Amino acid sequence: MKISLLGTGWLGSALFAALLKDERYTLFASYRSPATRKKLRGLINTSFDYQETARPGSAGSGNSVIEAMQAGPPRHRLFKINVPDFTEHDLPFFSAKTMVITLPPGRRRANAEELYTSEIAAIIQRAEKTGVGHLIYTSSTGVYGNIEGSVDEATPTAPVTQSAKAVLAAEELFRAGRIPATILRLAGLYGPGRHPGRWFAGKEQIAYSEAPVNLVHQQDVVSAIKKVMAAGPPPTGKQVFNVCAATHPSKATFYGRAIEAYGGALPELLAGGANGKRIDSSKIRRQLRWQPAHDQLIVT
């Protein structure tokens, strides 16, 4: 099965590494920076011999492809994709049965929502023309904003931040498109290179310390995406899943342990937030039998 990964940052590269271990998949992965290209190339080289080939007319343009060879035709490829400036050399990338899109809005960009939605619209339009069969998009539970209490997929959205507004606008584009789509609303991400004990390092206070945390480990997101891929396009055409650990300790409890594990000093804890939102991820557990390995949010 051909799988295209559009976005290979912290989450996308972890997904790429995991899928490389499964011989059922032929992977087409995108990159933007030379650093990401080097990292992905290294991941391929740990499992396969590779050959680098420059596409005709691409000298100096960065539109090169690394073709991993395994006793036969090229299997895995890396493409430099410049959204929305697609070229004919991108066509193999957009020929995959399934495309996983893990591109974040980019909080530091001016007009982030407008730019991001225009990029997502261009991606969907390109995928519709080339016949992609299933789009998987990583959104955020930030679309629920500051709603209190238990929050499931039927809860009305109320984004507050610019990035949350951008991903919600992107969600609407996937819903309106012709391709079957799965939207994964991810809770706060942690894992290798993102130790939660660092988040309050050097801070003097933790506000709303009684608020429940809503987090999910990187590898549990990878396993959720793999479950969605295995299930195939949704029968109803579109589907939304919350992806979050089942436990919701208070910020004081969780970050107290995380900061201790990291070796930092615990900031002053400010009361409040006990009625904060708790993301309910029972739908994906029930429908796709997703069983995260880090449900207890134990940080070492």
Residue 293 belongs to some domain of the structure: no
Residue 161, in any domain of the structure: yes
- Amino acid at residue number 203: K
Task: Write the DSSP assignment of 241-258 as a string of letters.
Answer: EEE--S---BHHHHHHHH
Q: Which residues contact 175 (CB under 8 A, 6 or more apart)?
A: 181, 183, 238
Dig out the tokens for 296 from the structure: 């207890």
The answer to whether position 99 is within a domain reads: yes
Do the domain assignments include residue 288? no
One digit per residue, the tens of pLDDT, for the chain of length 300 reads: 999 999 999 999 999 999 999 989 999 999 988 999 899 988 886 555 444 443 444 444 444 444 443 434 457 889 999 999 999 988 999 999 999 999 999 766 668 789 999 999 999 999 999 999 999 999 999 999 999 999 999 999 999 999 999 999 999 999 999 999 999 999 999 999 999 999 988 889 999 999 999 999 999 999 999 999 999 999 999 999 999 999 999 999 999 999 999 998 999 999 999 999 999 999 999 999 999 999 999 888
Q: Tell me if residue 283 falls in helix, strand or coil.
A: helix
Number of independent structural domains in the chain: 1
pTM: 0.91
Q: Domain for residue 263, yes or no?
A: no
Which has the closest alpha carbon to 140: 116, 109, 115? 116
Tell me the CATH number at 187. 3.40.50.720
Is residue 208, in this structure, part of any structural domain at all? Answer: no
Is residue 14 domain-resident? yes
Q: How many helices (H) and strands (E) does the chain have?
A: 7, 15
- Structural domain boundaries enclosing 148: 2-196+214-246
Task: Give the integer Cα–Cα distance in Å for 16 and 93.
Answer: 14
